[in-house]
Amino acid sequence: MATMADAQNDDYKYYMQDTASLYLGARFSYAEILAQEAVSFKYRSIIEHYILKDTVPETTLESQLYYMTADQFSYRTYRQLKARVKVCVLEQKKRLFGGVRTEYVSRVMKLDELVSMNLAQKKKRGMVVQELILSKLALMAFNV
């Protein structure tokens, strides 16, 4: 029987595409992506040949991206794919009649920007990785 946490996790396991990009929900593990026939064959091949060099199939995109460092092979691979990451961060918002409130705001970041932040900065901002966005043009140009 599925729990509430499982149902919420499934909300962040999706694959979509438009004319310019591929979008993958961050709660997908690499094993789950490889099992999805709907996901681009080329991206699945890139996972098998390049991404899994420095990670295990049970790793989620969320975890991989959050803890990624510039010296990892997967980082260099995702840079070639012009990866961007959709994240939620805590931000201070001024209220109309004075005062400040803190709320989560969605932002799309370049991979370089995300990786350049250390763990303390990510934790301070309450960062949550939501989605991986890949350029279709970069995917097309990538040689496997």
* Within a domain: 72: yes
* Within a domain: 142: no
* Within a domain: 144: no
* Within a domain: 141: no
Residue 137 confidence class, pLDDT cut points 50, 70, 90:
very high
Per-residue pLDDT tens over the stretch 23-39: 999 999 999 999 999 99
Q: Provide the 10 A C-beta neighbour count for residue 141.
A: 11
* Within a domain: 143: no
* Within a domain: 65: yes
pLDDT at residue 117 greater than cutoff 90: yes
Domain count, the chain: 1
Q: Among 96, 109, 102, which residue's Cα sits nearest to residue 126? A: 102
* Average pLDDT for the chain: 91
Angstrom distance (rounded) from CA 105 to CA 91: 7
* Within a domain: 11: yes
Q: Identify the CATH number of the domain in which residue 92 sits.
A: 3.30.465.10
Global pTM reads 0.87
* Within a domain: 25: yes
Give yes or no for a contact between 142 and 88, defined as CB atoms under 8 angstroms apart: no
Give the mean pLDDT of 108-113. 96
Per-residue pLDDT tens over the stretch 59-108: 999 999 999 999 999 999 999 999 999 999 998 888 778 788 888 899 99
pLDDT at residue 2 greater than cutoff 70: no
Give the mean pLDDT of 7-15. 75
- pLDDT score for 6: 57
Report in angstroms the alpha-carbon separations of 78 from 30, 42, 72, 124: 14, 13, 10, 25
Domain that holds residue 82: 4-135
Angstrom distance (rounded) from CA 19 to CA 22: 9
